[in-house]
Structure 1
Amino acid sequence: MSAKNIVYFDLETQRSFNDVGGSAHKDKMGISVGVTYSTGSGEYRIYGESEVNALVDELVRADLVVGWNHVEFDYPVLQGYTIYDLPNQTVNLDMMLALQELLGFRLKLDAAAKGSLGGEGKTADGLDALRWWQEYKKTGSKEPLMKIAEYCAYDVKVTKCVHEFAVENGHLKYHDRGGQLQEVAVDWK
């Protein structure tokens, strides 16, 4: 891989689609935690809502932003905070959208991770993160916020590992709905 700065990215929200009147209102969902991993710095960064401008700056400065459904989900959530047109002012590899184009359906990160990384998958889901956010708002305890950050950071790590597997091998593996291991060729170098 070249020396360019790849930023792997994910975020969790404060509110669900139901809370904001549907998926057309992602900009009203609010960010609870955003996490990046930069190949330039070799570090993970955790951003709270008050640090969204720094998160957006990191994404805009990246040579490539890699995520899983970040163009159609995470960026619209961030649009509630910024004047940047993130999909058009960043260079992106949205692995889910790229695979959807190849396969004709949306693949879950968990399916690609378990297939490609030998059983390693996600540790929780977005509903858990929403529950933890509500717990944080109710109690003021930092512990639920730390759970969100840990979950989100792990998703970034899984996203990074899936991307690196694809770059190294020229393909991804995933389990189809019938549980069979499948393989799809990708050129993400």
Structure 2
Amino acid sequence: MSQTAPTRIKLNPSFWKHMSCVPFSEDVVPSSLFLRNRHFLVLDIETQRLVQEVGGWDHVDKLGISVACAYDSKTDQFLSFQEKDLKTLIELCYDRLVVGYNVRGFDLPVMVPYGLEISKVDVFDLMYDLEALTRQRFLKLEAVARGTLGTGKSADGLMAVEWWKTGQIQKIIDYCMQDVKVTRDVFQFGRQNNFVRIQRSEANTTQVAVMWN
């Protein structure tokens, strides 16, 4: 009886800096994450409150989720979730490689009060990877999307909180879904072409080599 060879993964230096014998997703180099995850889930969430309304970035667990949207590569479907549906989304996160833009620093921590265990999730964060490659902090998705795709986000994220307060849920879904589509398209472009572009100004873009497959 033949046996399947185990998947070998490469580890970042961060693995050796903690006491866990099991690597976290940030310890695994991107190519290894893609090898051990056949399908990916592009994720974006919108919140019920602004950061300044809950006392700053140390209290993102109090923001509350108004809407979450995702693209599932396994089914090739775009999905939307409200608070009552988040258990289903969390199960998908455990079963896919979660891809997003600042998803490690924002979206996933906001999901923790709803039962998400981040240590169980494999994550590839486009922002974190691009910041490491360019040595530039706080690169905005808008700049990457404009440079790579020639298009960007459909609105300001602050508007999503206002729409929540006025009960305009469909507007939040439409906005969040556009963010997911843009993130998915940037990710797919990088996978297919091994580079993305960052728009620095109207007349200036920077090309960045990536390894997203």
What is the TM-score normalised by the length of structure 2? 0.80
Identify the residue that residue 127 of structure 1 maps to in structure 2: 158
C-alpha displacement of 1:166: 0.4
Q: 2:141 aligns with which of 109, 115, 127?
A: 109
Q: State the SS of the aligned residue for 1:12.
A: strand
Larger radius of gyration: 2
How many residues end up aligned between the 2 structures? 178
Identify the residue that residue 40 of structure 1 maps to in structure 2: 74
- Quick check: 1:70 aligned with 2:103? yes
Identify the residue that residue 210 of structure 2 maps to in structure 1: 186
What is the TM-score normalised by the length of structure 1? 0.90
Q: State the SS of the aligned residue for 1:79.
A: helix
Residues 126-171 of structure 1, C-alpha deviations (whole Å, 9 max, x = no match): 10101101111xxxxxxx1000001001100000000000011111
Q: 2:176 aligns with which of 152, 162, 166?
A: 152
Identify the residue that residue 80 of structure 1 maps to in structure 2: 113
Q: 1:12 aligns with which of 34, 46, 52?
A: 46
Residues 39-97 of structure 1, C-alpha deviations (whole Å, 9 max, x = no match): 101111110011111111111111x1110001110011001111x421x2111110001
- Quick check: 1:172 aligned with 2:203? no
Q: CA–CA distance in 2 between the matches of 1:94 and 1:114?
A: 18
Q: State the SS of the aligned residue for 1:183.
A: strand
- Quick check: 1:22 aligned with 2:56? yes
Q: Point out where structure 1 has 5 or more consecutive residues left out of the alignment.
A: 137-143
Structure 1 runs of 4+ aligned residues shifted over 3 Å read none
RMSD value over aligned CA atoms? 1.6
Q: Point out where structure 2 has 5 or more consecutive residues left out of the alignment.
A: 1-33
